[in-house]
Structure 1
Amino acid sequence: MPTLRQTALLLASAALAAPMAASPVLAQTTQAAPQSEDDRLAALFAADDEANLVRNPISGLFRGDLRYADRLGDYVSDAYFDGERRAAEGNMAALAKIDRARLTTVNQIAYDIFKRNQQDAIKGLSPEFLPLTAVRPINHFFGFHTFYPNFASGTGSAPFKTVTDYENNLKRHKEFVVLLDRSIERFKQGQASGVVETKLTIRNVIEQLDTQLAQAPTESPYYGPVNTFPADFSDADKARFTAAYASIITNDIYPAYKRLRDYLADDYLKDAREGVGLKYMKGGDALYAFLIEQTTTLPLAADEVHDLGLSEVKRILSEMDSIRAEVAFKGTLNEFFDHLRTDPKFKAPTREALTQGYYDIGKQVDAVISTQFKVLPATPLEIRPYEEFREKFEAGGSYQSGNPDGSRPGIFYFNAYDLPSRTTPGMTTLYLHEGAPGHHFQISLAQENEALPAFMRFGGNTAYVEGWALYSEKLGYPMGLFNDPYQRFGHLDDEMLRAMRLVVDTGIHSKGWTREQAIKYMLDNSSMGETDATAEVERYIAIPSQALAYKIGALTIQRLKAKAESELGTRFDPREFHDQVLNTGALPMTILEDKINRWIAATKG
């Protein structure tokens, strides 16, 4: 599952726009010393980061920077896209004036990542691709209509500690309404150009909007901050905000939801496409090829990814069958899948029992984590179920990052919707992926590292972020967490999920697979329940290529680790290897490989 911070970055990342913020001019009485190449690079990064925070206020809030907290941002207008394109082109021109060879080793890495980011932004905002993406601003897995309620609920990333915080939230609500209305206009442009979303995703969006509209305003997530006023608020402020929040929900947000819902149901749905893959969308084949390279950070073709997935599925099925034999199950592997899906002993009886199970796993991991890591995050980690208003359409788990200063914890969310369809063998693996040492370690250690430029502390790419989290699942073996064969099988089942993604995502978007064909493939090759398999397939339909990055990234890290173990022998220390992988933030796979190769050579002497 993409982390909530990743979702925010997806919603407001390369496609943000506004002129570069002006830097203050300071009077100088003496001539400044000539800048080194490293200083010039740092100045470029700082200027770009400040300008990006102006364009992308949400990023600032996730980082605990409240200077622009009264803004949500404008993420769909032409001026917005044009401004972001100009910013990326300006960054490329400035970067070309810096001599990369004269930079430190770490800054050479930063230079390469920054350059790649700008190139990707320019390509994504080009006339070839922007008309294929801008006109599809929302689907059931990707959109402000589901991101923002949690963000503004009082339990999300937006702060609610002061009167100003509460006032800023009201101002952001106004911009949210504008975003929803501008999204309608974008959808209309897509209808006119023939670039449309699928009927499946739009029906799901309509259901999401119906669910939110069915809540009374005082039961809405948007009303949450009213229920948790800080103790030092005056009675007058409480009364003022109670009235203001009820009013804006009732008179602004809900009517905007209704406008979007009615337009999608009464107008757009009839023109949405039946074919769920990008293959069936105008320009879809070219867009999918671009997305594969963007998410995996490698020049891979769809057929190549599909074949890799088939080979991984075959390998994992063999290992699963060995565990079936180990536990003395007499039936076939598919019958063993059904056994795991249906036997009550693999079900959590209540939400409370499921929650306690994850608490227990967290304690087990904490007791042994130092055997694999020499640097631990300072940011605390909390464990929570998804809120009921959004749990139906969420995956099994996700991660929301904390603040760099630790004032807001990282949160591992798990899904307690439809408990009878969920099984317990994968719990350890899910925690390792979404919590520690997966997303929580990778994201927290990066953003706590103030020596890195902001785009490396707070940015990232899916292949690294999700590849690391998938790689982290395998650390259950050296940490002694997979002694139970069923938890070990759960690990293989989750690994199978990521292998099947290579097959199913490419099957849907490049080979024309149907939703039902994809669901059947996943049920035939794993012990997933139908609810989970359906949610997974509909996710791949909604966000093409994103799911490919997990396995591609993990296989790259596993290969680099095996190379280090082979070449270093007794000098190999997993704590040092993991530090090398994590201590410069999220790297594209080619850049990570170059870094690890240099570390191996230096360690060998």
Structure 2
Amino acid sequence: MIRALFLAATALAAAPALAAPAPVHNATAPAASEGQRLANLFRESDESQLRRNPIQALFRGDMRYAPEFGDYITDRYQAAEKAAGVADLAALARIDRAKLHADDRISYDVFKWQTELTLKGYRPDLLKVQIERPIDHFSGFQVFVPDLSSGEGAAPFKTVADYENNLKRLEGYIVYLDRATARMRQGLADGIVNPKLVMKNVVDQLDGIVAQGVEGSTFYKPVTHFPAAIPAAEQARLKAQYAAFIRDRLNPAHAHLRDFIKAEYLPHARDSVGLGQMKGGPALYRYLVEQNTTTQMTPQEIHALGLREVDRIHGEMEKVKNAVGFKGDLHQFADFLRTDPRFKPATAAAMRDAFIDIDRRVGVVVGRDFSVIPKTPLEVRADPPYREKTSAGGEYNSGTPDGSRPGIFYYNSYDLPSRYTWGYETLFLHEGRPGHHFQISLAQENTNLPAFQRFGGNTAYVEGWALYSESLGYELGFFTDPYQNYGHLNDEILRAMRLVVDTGIHSMGWGRDQAIKYMLENSAMSPTDATAEVERYIAIPGQALAYKVGQLTIRRLRTKAEQALGPKFDVRDFHAQVLMSGALPMEVLERKIDDWIAAKKRS
């Protein structure tokens, strides 16, 4: 799971890029080539998007709009973003794709696919059911703004201006919270509301933020350790300014939102948990399935695929159970793995050290499978306490292209007895190297790509790559311990179960308890993890479908290439082909690999 990129994309509504007005050309100037015209469109579109979505610029390390928070939720913003997508497609249609070089054709196809799909999301009925539910416990602004402003996230705190810019952004955040409250009131009037359990989790989050007080607040952290270059007088001024702002503005804003949810929203929130039970929900879920999988698969097809994958992986688990000599069925084996003390982390520090050691071991062998290694460093950190209860077992936060901010692998040590050592290797391969860290960093560092390919993407590719990366553990020398091998299979079956459970909840009427029961019966997950997973699917429908669909596609393309090329196949070349164009929709990725196979055959 990618914390920063996912939250930024969902919370900012992932609007299409806003195209700038077409430049006026000198009549005597030489005509631009199709490739130049395409590059100009991408550049103008990206520049305009960053002006309208300043937090996206901040995550990139672009400080030009650092004092700004952005709009994101007004009718004016949504209308402008929709108009931008229409303008972008019109400009793209005036470029002759047949005259482009191969890499530019890929960029053309990705840009067209992304913009068309985003525009579909602005259909009035789909936009309404999204914008009137602006906050949940997984992707709401209240989840990632504290980290952004903590001094440990994307926003830098190196100069006096950095500190002042943060307060200016937080003023915009307070405005956003008020506007989100107004949107939720619209939802109440229209019968478009989130489930009770989601909003109870939001209340718990807001309670936690307010309970921190002032000097214990995550937002106060930047003024507890200043860079030496900031003069003492400025430090004192900023410390007082931050304390007053948190006390008088920020904590009251969070309390106001919390009180509104408790008093006005929760009494009318849904007892049901699936989109299928919400007004406008079935159409939104079909759109979210397409958006997240980048395919035309139906919920029913995905549900059936998940059931088949669960059965297949159970067969692999049986082999591990038999190999370690366990007497009993898979349910009993899962209970053993959940309860035996040998599989419990001794301490949170021991958990950290284990992940650091896995990172070291990956570094020694990863060159076997990869010809290009990211320059961006990777750090291992614990999940911050304010979000650990509702966070996944591990998450990735991207670094900046210039390496000034590292990529971060977050591990979750909340409820330590519910964490299992047998899941360590597969978790790190997914969230760290060669999973999210390689894919995101290599794209960001590739300055030959247009910005939307360097910094954008789709969930099927991003999460599909990370799940595929887990399977590379076998060829990189991991999973030699049968229990770590089981941990990999347990994670893989989680992604297969997601196909069953997400579609079950949102398309087939499953309830929360039914979904949790299914996950516990089919894996060695703890009740804590299974509950967090199911409540995540309830909060962000469709996202969990992307992992398995993307992974199966990448694995199928690798098998196709291996069979077609025989001795000419080089896994390092294959991985470069998959990674070095950014996150591609599945159909575009397949065309690229087919073209690569054809070229290799001719060589």
* Same fold at TM > 0.5: yes
CA distance in 1, matches of 2:514, 2:282: 20
Aligned position for 1:569: 566
* Mapped partners of 2:164, 2:23: distance in 1: 28
CA contact (8 A) 1:279 1:509 kept: yes
Q: Does 1:172 align with 2:169?
A: yes
- Counterpart pick for 2:220 among 212, 219, 223: 223
Q: Secondary structure at the match of 2:371?
A: coil
CA shift, 1:21, in A, is 5.0
SS at match of 2:289: helix
| Distance in structure 1 (CA, Å) of the matches to 2:572 and 2:6 | 26
2:129 to 118, 129, 132: 132
Residue equivalent to 2:301: 304
Please say if 1:600 is aligned against 2:597.
yes
Q: Deviations along 1:98-120, whole A, 9 cap, x unmatched?
A: 11111111111111111111112
TM-aligned CA distance change 1:510 to 1:10, over 3 Å: same
**Number of the residue aligned with 1:487:** 484
- Give the Å deviation of 1:63: 1.1
Q: Percent of pairs identical after alignment?
A: 56
Counterparts of 1:82-231 in structure 2, within 5 Å, are 82-231=79-228
Paired with 1:9 and 1:506, the residues of 2 have a C-alpha distance of 22
Q: SS of the residue aligned with 1:217?
A: coil
- TM-score w.r.t. the length of structure 2 is 0.98
For residue 24 of structure 1, report the CA deviation from its aligned partner: 8.3
Equivalent position SS for 1:527: coil
- How far did residue 567 of structure 1 move? 1.0
1:365-392 Cα deviation digits (max 9, x unpaired) = 1110000000000000000110111100
Aligned residue number for residue 403 of structure 2? 406
Alignment partner, residue 421 of structure 2: 424
8 A Cα contact 2:273 2:512, kept in partner: yes
The alpha-carbon deviation at position 25 of structure 1 amounts to 7.5
Structure 2: distance between partners of 1:380 and 1:499: 31
Identify which of 41, 45, 51 aligns with 1:54.
Answer: 51
2:234 maps to which residue?
237
Task: For residue 13 of structure 1, report the CA deviation from its aligned partner.
Answer: 4.3
Q: 1:143 to 1:348 in 2, by over 3 A?
A: same
Q: Say yes or no: does 1:268 pair with 2:255.
A: no
CA distance in 2, matches of 1:526, 1:517: 15
Preserved contact between residue 13 and residue 72 of structure 2 (Cα < 8 Å): no
Deviations 1:224-270 (A, max 9, x none): 11012110111111011001111111111111101100000001111
1:23-69 deviation line (CA, Å, top 9, x unaligned): 8879x7x9321101111110000000000000111111111110000
Give distance in 2, aligned partners of 1:25 and 1:254. 49
How far apart in 1 are the matches of 2:458 and 2:588? 12
Residue 371 of structure 1 pairs with residue 368 of structure 2: yes
Counterpart position of 1:322:
319
CA distance in 2, matches of 1:266, 1:414: 35
Q: Which of residues 524, 527, 537 in structure 2 aligns to 1:527?
A: 524
SS of 2:408's partner is strand
| Cα shift readout 1:106-157 (whole Å, capped 9, x = no counterpart) | 1111111111111122111121200110000000111101110001000000
Determine the C-alpha separation between the residues in 2 that align with 1:450 and 1:602: 24
CA contact (8 A) 2:16 2:119 kept: no
Aligned to 2:279: 282
Per the alignment, residue 457 of structure 1 pairs with 454
For the 8 Å contact 1:278–1:288, the answer to whether it is kept is: yes
Q: Quick one: which amino acid aligns to residue 376 of structure 1?
A: I
SS at match of 2:249: helix
Partner of residue 15, structure 1: 15
2:546 paired with 1:549: yes
* d(CA) in 1 for partners of 2:204, 2:246: 19
For 2:36 and 2:140, the matched residues in 1 are separated by: 38
Q: Aligned to 2:212, what secondary structure does the other structure show? A: coil
Alignment partners' CA distance in 2, 1:426 and 1:455? 34
Q: Tell me, yes or no, if structure 1 residue 31 matches structure 2 residue 43.
A: no
Q: 2 CA distance for matches of 1:387 and 1:140?
A: 15
Query: Does 1:45 pair with 2:42?
Result: yes
How far has the Cα of 1:3 moved from its partner? 3.2
Q: How many residues align?
A: 602
User: Match of 1:4, as an amino acid?
Assistant: A
Provide the C-alpha distance between the structure 1 equivalents of 2:356 and 2:542, rounded to a whole number of angstroms: 33
Other structure's SS at 1:426 match: helix
How far apart, in 2, do the equivalents of 1:22 and 1:288 lie? 35
SS at match of 2:124: coil
Structure 1: runs of 5+ lacking an equivalent? none
Residue matched to 1:259:
256
Aligned match of 1:433: 430
2:6 match: 6
Distance in 1 between the 2:539 and 2:3 partners?
A: 16
CA deviation after TM superposition for structure 1 residue 190, in Å: 0.4
Shift of 1:6: 2.1
Deviations 1:264-288 (A, max 9, x none): 0001111111110001100111111
Cα distance in 2 for residues equivalent to 1:457 and 1:140: 28
The one-letter code matched in structure 1 to 2:232 is D
Normalised by the length of structure 1, the TM-score is 0.98
| Corresponding letter in the other structure for 1:238 | Q
- Measure how far apart 1:601 and its partner are: 0.9
**Partner SS, residue 398 of structure 1:** strand
Which amino acid letter does the alignment assign opposite residue 522 of structure 1? Answer: M
What CA distance in whole angstroms lies between the structure 2 residues aligned with 1:598 and 1:16?
A: 29
Q: Which runs of 5+ in 2 are unaligned?
A: none
Q: Which amino acid aligns with 2:356?
A: Y
Give the root-mean-square deviation of aligned CA atoms.
Answer: 1.3
**1:22/1:69 CA distance change after superposition, 3 Å:** farther
Contact 2:151–2:221 (CA under 8 A) maintained in structure 1: yes
State whether structure 2 residue 601 is matched by structure 1 residue 586: no
SS at match of 2:504: helix
Offset at residue 10 of structure 1 (A): 1.8
> Is the CA contact 1:462–1:549 (under 8 Å) kept in the aligned structure 2?
yes
Cα distance change on mapping 1:23 and 1:404 into 2, 3 Å: farther
What CA distance in whole angstroms lies between the structure 2 residues aligned with 1:84 and 1:234?
Answer: 42
Contact 1:16 1:80 (C-alpha < 8 Å) held by counterparts: no
CA offsets 1:499-528 (integer angstroms, 9 cap, x no match): 000000000000010100000100000000
Q: Post-superposition shift, 1:331?
A: 1.6
Please give the alpha-carbon distance, in whole angstroms, between the structure 1 residues aligned to 2:225 and 2:426: 34
Equivalent residue in structure 2 for 1:503, among 500, 521, 529? 500
Distance 1:500 1:308 in 2: 10
Q: For residues 294 and 426 of structure 1, what CA distance do their matches in structure 2 show?
A: 29
- Alpha-carbon shift at residue 72 of structure 1 (Å): 1.2
**Residues of 1 paired with 2:561 and 2:62: CA distance?**
39
Change (3 A) 1:3 1:389: closer
Q: Report if the CA contact (8 A) 1:323-1:485 is conserved.
A: yes
AA of the residue aligned to 2:256: R
Once residues 400 and 22 of structure 2 are traced to their aligned partners in structure 1, the CA distance between those partners, rounded to angstroms, is 26
Output the CA distance in 2 between the equivalents of 1:63 and 1:480. Answer: 34
In structure 1, how many angstroms separate the alpha carbons of the residues matched to 2:254 and 2:427?
Answer: 33
Residue 15 of structure 1, CA deviation: 3.4
